[in-house]
Structure 1
Amino acid sequence: MPAALTLSNIGLELSGNAGPIEILRNIDVEVATGETVGLIGPSGSGKSSLLMIMGGLEQATAGQIDILGQNVTHWDEDKLARFRLDHMGVVFQSFHLLPTMTALENVSVPLELAGRKDATARARDALADVGLADRMDHYPSQLSGGEQQRVALARATAPRPEILLADEPTGNLDQANGSAIIDLLFNLRDHHDATLIMVTHANDLADRCDRKISLLDGQLEEQPVPLARQA
């Protein structure tokens, strides 16, 4: 079975007022199918940029990326978008819900774009899985922050993706809602048997993963996970 994700010598350089800025350099990492990985590091270390490259949402300036056995390095945006619809789910810190659509419509749209004939039924099931069976017809403005993130989780997992990417999924939530969202994220990951890669500032959240990787000054370093987690 191929690895879920392989990054080979990935680099990212952006243009700045003072010249080129090196965000990532010489990134080599392989994530096994079904593995959970916590990506940690200080603000500005490039964690979110790396996650976006993993999801084909940002283009690396060097290296190669293989997802589910396919070299996607030079794919155009349309091909990458179609691939994400079929194989990947992404959860952001900001919920990115469409304000003029209900919770059900927000979850249904990606399924409809992917050509799923059971889009509405699957969206209903996904919202029920995150505890929002009675809030499906509500608009984002009628939902709390925690509820909006639950809708975002339902949207990401409704297609039953092989890979889940989460970028600070609790960053805009209080502690209680944040803990509930993380529990849901791991439960959904287990339910769909997906590979999970999560960016977080919180070591305790990363400790729940199979592996913990630190990003500092644009480079990766493996970190130990608690012995209890290893067992």
Structure 2
Amino acid sequence: MTKPILSLQDVTLALEGNAGPVEILHGISMDVSEGETLALVGPSGSGKSSLLMIMGGLERASAGSVTVLGQELSEMDEDQLARMRRDGMGVVFQSFHLIPTMTALENVATPLELAGHKDAFERAATELEAVGLEHRADHYPAQLSGGEQQRVALARASAPRPRLLLADEPTGNLDAANGDAIIDLLFDLRDRHGATLVLVTHSNTLAARCNRVIRLHDGRVADAAHDASQAAAE
């Protein structure tokens, strides 16, 4: 049987607050198969984004086991986690996180350069073309609309050909038209590179595009087998 690309076993997360520890996640267990598309849904404050950050090694679990791309994250230091994300993972945030002093092309090429790809700028140009922004390659983030900035962020995440793509509310800062376009691009990029996709969303339309939906409530899995079509009908 093929090992899952991502596996969480009894994961908890507690963060220190002004009044003491605050429990964010409670005993989360799940497996994600290679090539799967998975939506994490639930009300604000249910722990969706925290769970995604743990999957990406951007937040450390307080307890439990997190295995990503065959590696147990608790056994890795920060440099090892950074290399794992660089070599096998793409992350897309709601707020874009582009480098303001770099052009669109340079933003997309940066992770490729850090990984030592000699054709970084050629590959970056190809990814910008795939998201329809080849004509904006020399523009800086401040010269781009919100939808265009998110397209650059998608191109940057997909350029290294990651096996795992994580997206945190990728349409959250966009209007309906731009959000729909980003959804289409996200799945086009996933299909082109064959990546596993895990995303956090409040959008029923986006969740319905996924193979599987996991609903969180108060830091717990409410219904791990909830079908995407059911979520779209709610």
Q: TM-score, normalised by structure 2?
A: 0.95
Q: How far apart in 1 are the matches of 2:113 and 2:97?
A: 18
Pairing of 1:10-89 with structure 2 (within 5 A): 10-89=11-90
Q: Deviations over 1:185-207 (max 9, x none)?
A: 00100010000001001122111
Identical columns (%)? 65
2:188 pairs with 1:187: yes
3-state SS in 2 of match to 1:226: helix
2:153 pairs with 1:113: no
Q: How far apart in 1 are the matches of 2:149 and 2:212?
A: 28
Paired AA for residue 138 in structure 1: H
- The Cα shift of 1:4 comes to 1.0
Q: How far apart in 2 are the matches of 1:113 and 1:94?
A: 22
The CA RMSD over aligned residues, in Å, is: 1.2
Q: Deviations over 1:23-74 (max 9, x none)?
A: 0011000000000001001111111010000000110100111112222223
Q: How far apart in 1 are the matches of 2:3 and 2:126?
A: 30
- The Cα shift of 1:225 comes to 2.5
Q: Which residue of 2 aligns with 1:147?
A: 148
Q: Which residue of 1 aligns with 2:227?
A: 224
Conserved 8 A contact 1:45-1:216: yes
Q: How far apart in 1 are the matches of 2:204 and 2:25?
A: 22
Conserved 8 A contact 1:11-1:24: yes
Q: How far apart in 2 are the matches of 1:84 and 1:31?
A: 17
Paired AA for residue 177 in structure 1: N
Q: How far apart in 2 are the matches of 1:110 and 1:69?
A: 22
2:125 pairs with 1:132: no
3-state SS in 2 of match to 1:131: coil
Q: How far apart in 1 are the matches of 2:52 and 2:158?
A: 17
Q: Which residue of 2 aligns with 1:174?
A: 175
3-state SS in 1 of match to 2:228: coil
Q: How far apart in 1 are the matches of 2:153 and 2:96?
A: 6
Q: Which residue of 1 aligns with 2:164?
A: 163
Range with greater deviation from structure 2 (200-209 or 85-94): 200-209
Q: How far apart in 1 are the matches of 2:58 and 2:38?
A: 19
Q: How far apart in 1 are the matches of 2:82 and 2:9?
A: 21
Q: Which residue of 1 aligns with 2:6?
A: 5
| Matched residue count | 228
2:123 pairs with 1:122: yes
Q: Which residue of 2 aligns with 1:204?
A: 205
Paired AA for residue 225 in structure 1: A
Paired AA for residue 226 in structure 1: S
- The Cα shift of 1:2 comes to 2.1
Structure 2 spans left out of the alignment, 5+ residues = none
3-state SS in 2 of match to 1:121: helix
Structure 1 spans left out of the alignment, 5+ residues = none
